[in-house]
Amino acid sequence: MEAHETTHERYVEQISKIERLAPEREAELLAQTRTGDRDALREVIWSYLRLTYHLAQELKPEWMEPLLAAQEANAILSQVVEAPDIDEIEPALEARLRVLFDRLEQAGSD
């Protein structure tokens, strides 16, 4: 279990250094992702990792390990950023994470 905790601590340390993009830069990069620019996609996803982690920890079921919650949330982040109909990432991300973690909570209580 100690190795798992160390991995979690390193992840939190890494993402704590990430800064959000300026709104103009984010809009520019999102437009580029719509044309298939994988570098722009990575940059947008990277800029949201810290927020995604914090939302995951806030919304996850009590029984779920923090790092697993972060991994699940990062998968949702990728889907949100790649969705062609989403222009505002943060509200869409939070809404989808709520759905995910509500479903996991219900499944865990069965």
Q: The CATH number of 2-109 is which of 2.40.128, 1.10.490, 1.10.3470, 1.10.1740?
A: 1.10.1740
- Please check the confidence at residue 98 and state whether its pLDDT lies above 60: yes
Q: Render pLDDT for 61-82 as a digit per residue (tens, 0 to 9).
A: 999 999 999 999 999 999 999 9
Q: What pLDDT does 87 receive?
A: 85
**Cα 36 to Cα 6: distance, rounded to the nearest angstrom:** 35
Residue with tokens 């709520």: 98
Q: What pLDDT does 2 receive?
A: 57
Percent of the chain with pLDDT strictly greater than 70: 93
Residue 25: pLDDT band (50, 70, 90) is very high
Cα distances (angstroms) measured from residue 108 to each of 29, 58, 59:
38, 17, 14
Q: What pLDDT does 107 receive?
A: 86
Query: Mean pLDDT, to the nearest integer, of 33-51?
Result: 95
Residue 14: pLDDT band (50, 70, 90) is very high
Higher-confidence position of 51 and 107: 51
Q: What pLDDT does 7 receive?
A: 87
Cα distances (angstroms) measured from residue 43 to each of 94, 100, 109:
19, 24, 37
Per-residue tokens: 58: 């806030």
Q: What pLDDT does 5 receive?
A: 63
**The one-letter amino acid at 44:** V
